[in-house]
Amino acid sequence: QVQLVESGGGSVQAGGSLRLSCVASEYTYGTNCLAWFRQAPGKEREGVAGIYHGSKRVYYADSVKGRFTISLDNDENTVYLEMSSLKPEDTALYYCAVSTRGACLRPPLSAPMFELWGQGTQVTVSS
């Protein structure tokens, strides 16, 4: 079974940067998009960034636009999330996810559209 493993989370001060990585144990046949979601305590899971596997077209939630960058290394089966100008409200557990469905990046990103999930990596931003 394909597994997604996130890494790169940590604790930073506001204004800092982090780079999250998500490695797939193998290519998931039919992958259409990959995305990063986050969930803070007491809040719903939020899709923050996504990328189409083929076209590399990307989507960003308004809350992270201009600060986060998603990228994909097909050869390494790895998706990255570069986060800069971090704010305390970015504090959350960050998950990567894979979808084989069409229109998987139709905004807003919808968690039920994604079939495969990692375990998450914690990002904590202090003021």
Q: Write the pLDDT tens digit of every residue in 9-66.
A: 999 999 999 999 999 887 777 889 999 999 999 999 999 999 999 899 999 999 999 9
Q: Identify the bridge partners of residue 93 per DSSP, sorted by sequence position.
A: 39, 122
The pLDDT value recorded for residue 25 is 84
Average pLDDT, the chain: 94
Q: Decide if 97 contacts 37 (C-beta within 8 A).
A: yes
**Residue located via tokens 């800092």:** 16
What does the block give as tokens for 41?
């305590």
Q: Which residues are CB-contacts of 43 (< 8 A; sequence separation ≥ 6)?
A: 92
